[in-house]
Amino acid sequence: MFMKTFEEKWTAWIDDELNESERAEFEAALEDRAAAEADKNQTHKLGALLKEQLQPRAMGNEAFFHHQLRERIERETASPAARATPALRQTWWSIRRLLSLGAASLAVFAVCTFLVMREEPAPNQSQYLTHILNSRVDPGMNPDATVSIFQTKDDRATVLWVDGLKSLPSDYAAK
């Protein structure tokens, strides 16, 4: 054990924390007991006054402070890795969307290329069509004959359609 200093004993005496023997010994050692008792009473009054006057004030924005505190606690308790990684800015152009858009563009390009290439004729074929410049049917032999011209879509054949020619017997089909 070690010896208490006078100040420690004085503080303990003021706070009534000395046991009976210590208190009797300390009071016996006081030179001016009445002045000490007056100081003790003054100290007790001052303590009571401070307890009464220094009550914590009620907070008007308690919820806000709770929220701030919770956020700060969460920040401080977050993992070091998470704290080290900066927060990425969230935009519409995410990598996945960009990849999807690129794939869709390539698909559209492939479809359009296929359609364009399919419409083009074979390279060894001429682009020109056969044209009928004029045509005549002998009006004496076939007075009701009429002529029309059209082209077929599949073989691009040019058809000269002559109507109203006189019908011939089947022996005209002889070779």
Partner 1 sequence: MCRILFAALTGAALLLSTVAPASAGKPRRGAQPGRSGKKVWSGLVVATNAAKPLPATPTELHRLDGTLRRTFGYNQFEVIGQSRRALQNGEANWLAVSKHFSLHVDPRGVSSDGYRVNLQLFQDRQILLETDATLSTSSPLVIRGPQVGAGQLLLLLVVQ
Region near partner 1 per CB under 8 A, out of 2-10, 11-19, 36-44, 108-116:
108-116
Position 126 contacts partner 1 (CB under 8 A): yes
Asked if 148 contacts 161 with a C-beta cutoff of 8 angstroms, the reply is: yes
> Which of the ranges 11-19, 29-37, 58-66, 125-133 carries the binding residues for partner 1, by CB under 8 A?
125-133
Q: Which of 3, 17, 13, 7 is nearest to 33 (CA)?
A: 13
How far is Cα 76 from Cα 37, in angstroms, rounded to an integer? 51
Instruction: Please work out the total of residues on this chain that contact partner 1, with binding judged by CB under 8 A.
Output: 55
Of 42 and 148, CB closest to partner 1: 148
Cβ closest to partner 1, residue 53 vs residue 90: 90
Nearer CB in complex with partner 1: 41/135: 135
- What is the bridge-based pairing of β-strands 158-163 and 146-151? antiparallel
Q: What is the CA 52 to chain-centroid distance, rounded? A: 55
127 lines the binding site for partner 1 (CB under 8 A): yes
Q: What is the token pair recorded at 14?
A: 């003021």
Q: Is residue 166 close enough to count as binding partner 1 by CB under 8 A?
A: yes
Q: How many residues are listed for the chain in this entry?
A: 175
Nearest to 137 by CA among 104, 100, 164, 102: 164
Chain residues in the site for partner 1 (CB under 8 A) = 93, 98, 101-102, 105-106, 108-113, 116, 119-121, 125-138, 141-142, 151-152, 154-163, 165-175
